[in-house]
Structure 1
Amino acid sequence: MSESRPIGTYTADLADGSPVGRVDFVDSPQAEGERVFFHTEVDRRFGGRGLAGLLVREVLKDSIRRSVTVVPVCPLFARHLAKHGDEFVADGGKFRQPTPGDLALVKRATA
């Protein structure tokens, strides 16, 4: 028997409540306060407007507020933190590189 972890989602919505973007994550069962971000998606109709970057920045701000350690499996999160990780840490954020265990967690959660 394997443990099933629910997938959490941040969403960006239009004023009428219609979703236009999302960031999916799973909380690590091995480490309290670690959140593995594995997918970012923006509706094609809204592509090219910087919405994905806005989503990443807002999620990172929320991670600081919640004192959550970010584990960037999503390539967009990984690129952002590679470029702006020092700023994120200076603002009070925490992140670490993903491990094979994190990748396995995402695979189980999305199976």
Structure 2
Amino acid sequence: MTTHVSDRADEQRFEIADDDGTVLGVAEYQRRDGVVVFTHTEVDPRQEGHGIGSTLVREALDAVRAAGDRIEPRCPFVRAFVADHPEYADLVADPTR
């Protein structure tokens, strides 16, 4: 299955969808002063265990990096992803939180 991630800024979330446009997961956020605060990530239960959530978060973090912004990972999934992928640790705005 081919997927693509898009930033739905008007809805304050990144979405991952399949080729048919079916949304498979979302990573919700709030933006403030150059920081993207990730608040909630959810994947369709039928898609769990297939790497959909990891793909979603990886591409969202890559988009944040490309924009020159930082992150605040309030969402447990995003926090765990960053902990497991130290190449994204530099994006955390306040690593002590």
Larger Rg: 1
Number of the residue aligned with 1:58: 59
Aligned letter for 1:56?
Answer: V
Please list every run of 5 or more consecutive structure 1 residues that lacks an aligned counterpart in the other structure: 1-5, 100-111
Q: 1:7, CA displacement in angstroms?
A: 5.3
Instruction: Compare relative contact order (CA 8 Å, sep 6+) and give the higher one, 1 or 2.
Output: 1
TM-score, normalised to structure 2's length? 0.79
**3-state DSSP of counterpart to 2:85:** helix
Number of the residue aligned with 2:15: 11
- Cα gap change, 1:44/1:10 in structure 2, threshold over 3 Å: closer, same or farther? same
In the alignment, the residues of structure 2 paired with residue 7 and residue 18 of structure 1 have an alpha-carbon distance, to the nearest angstrom, of 16
State how many pairs are aligned.
87
Number of the residue aligned with 1:35: 36
- Cα gap change, 1:98/1:27 in structure 2, threshold over 3 Å: closer, same or farther? farther
**3-state DSSP of counterpart to 2:38:** strand
In the alignment, the residues of structure 1 paired with residue 96 and residue 20 of structure 2 have an alpha-carbon distance, to the nearest angstrom, of 36
Q: 1:18, CA displacement in angstroms?
A: 1.2
TM-score, normalised to structure 1's length? 0.70
RMSD (CA atoms):
1.9
Higher strand proportion: 2
Q: 1:97, CA displacement in angstroms?
A: 3.9
Please list every run of 5 or more consecutive structure 2 residues that lacks an aligned counterpart in the other structure: 1-9
Alignment identity in percent?
A: 29
Alignment of 1:1-111 (within 5 A): 8-28=12-32, 32-85=33-86, 87-89=87-89, 93-95=90-92, 96-97=94-95
**3-state DSSP of counterpart to 1:48:** coil
